[in-house]
Chain A
Amino acid sequence: MKDNRPVNLDFTTFKLPLPAITSILHRISGGFLFIGLALLLYLLDQSLESAEGFARVTEWLGNPLVKLVTWAVLAALLYHLFAGIKHLVMDLGIGETISGGVLGARLVIAASLVAIVAAGVWIW
């Protein structure tokens, strides 16, 4: 084997195309949700436990820090949802071309941005 052939496997110098960015964000949001689910379950647990628990949860959700964390979990959930829907659409054979992939990625980003901002407005 010639050892002077040009090889570039340095991932840090690769520029990711948009569909690759939405794909890695899908993974990151999924991993984040895996942990974030603990918060959602905790809120459900407290809110169903008693009337006092429900009042506590309502009070917590008024706290700016809790609002921020809840928004982050909700943002990951919404993004993961839209990226997942795009996945299922592509499984049906729709948008599998290069241009279709870019369009799908743009739609995912646009839809989740709108939903995440709306979720922020809802929480605050």
Chain B
Amino acid sequence: MVTNISSFGRSGLSDWVIQRISAVILASYTLFILATLLLTPDMDYPQWRALFSSFAMRFFTLVTLLSVLAHGWIGMWTISTDYLTPRMIGSGANVIRILFQLGCILLTLLYLVWGIEILWGN
């Protein structure tokens, strides 16, 4: 089995499964939010706030954020290991790729913490 230390689940098969489970969660959340906004064209602040105050919505949103973390990381890792290689961009590629991957991890963690703050901090 091919494993890679920098991939999300340490193996391609694990990443493959996580990518698909998180995709279904992300699709469900996207459709739910779009449907909510379309069915409530005159959404006002109390309604919007009440929606995000419910435990179910906070749970759904947090699970979605965790899915973004996994899904986005696996996607950006795939992109970086395909294009940021010595063959594609030259000898500095390994350093550039690792810096790029660190940046992606930092951004996804930022999204997660920011999201938690939005949900429970406001």
Contact = CB atoms under 8 A, between A and B. Distances in A.
B30 A34 contact: no
Given A37-B111, A81-B27, A88-B20, A45 B118 contact: yes
A122 to B, nearest CB: 8
B114 A54 contact: no
B48 A47 contact: yes
**Contact residues on B (Cβ < 8 Å of other chain), bracket:** 20 to 34
Nearest to A30: B75
B70 interface: no
B118 A41 contact: yes
Interface string A80-107: 0100110110010000000000000000
A44 interface: yes
B45 interface: yes
B89 to A, nearest CB: 14
A10 interface: no
B60 to A, nearest CB: 13
A44 B52 CA distance: 10
Given A31-B75, A34-B72, A48 B52 contact: yes
Contacts of A88: 20, 23-24
A48 B38 CA distance: 19
9 contacts: A31-B76, A34-B75, A41-B111, A48-B52, A49-B122, A54-B49, A81-B27, A81-B30, A85-B27
Given A45-B114, A47-B45, 11 more contacts: A27-B79, A37-B111, A44-B118, A45-B117, A48-B49, A48-B52, A48-B122, A49-B122, A77-B30, A87-B23, A88-B23
